[in-house]
């Protein structure tokens, strides 16, 4: 009879259904996270203004290149008029750019 269920293949069926459901859930999470965290676009003028501002306020660090929150707020104000593309820069975006540039410079000096 064609309507009979092969009980030996049920575990594989449920494992496949669970795998597909898990993949769909993970894909949805990735899509949602990419929409809530837009990527920063930095042009050369913005990077230069950020680095200049941080250099001018280097005495306001909290050790090992970590700047106080007021410095990051000031940096955002300094670079805001230079925005040409992408979202308005946040404190986190500025800190990430500083870390990338700072680490690159340190690495380049050690070579």
Query: Would you state the pLDDT for residue 6?
Result: 74
Domain ranges within the chain, ordered by starting residue: 1-37, 44-110
pTM: 0.62
Closest residue by Cα to residue 42 from 108, 99, 109? 99
Of 2 and 76, more confident: 76
Of 111 and 106, more confident: 106
What's the pLDDT band for 11 if we cut at 50, 70, 90?
confident
Query: Would you state the pLDDT for residue 13?
Result: 81
Compute the chain's Rg from CA coordinates.
Answer: 25
The structure tokens listed for 62 are: 């909290």
Q: What percent of the chain has pLDDT above 90?
A: 41
């Amino acid at each position: 009879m064609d309507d009979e269920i092969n009980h030996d293949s049920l575990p594989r069926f449920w494992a496949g259904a669970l795998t597909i459901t898990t993949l769909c859930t993970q894909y949805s999470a990735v899509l949602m996270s990419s929409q809530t965290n837009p990527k920063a676009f930095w042009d050369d003028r913005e990077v230069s203004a950020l680095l200049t501002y941080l250099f001018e306020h280097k005495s306001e660090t909290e050790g090992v290149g970590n700047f106080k929150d007021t410095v990051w707020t000031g940096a955002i104000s300094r670079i805001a008029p230079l925005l040409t593309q992408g979202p308005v820069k946040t404190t986190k975006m500025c800190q990430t750019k500083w870390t990338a540039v700072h680490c690159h410079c340190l690495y380049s000096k050690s070579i």
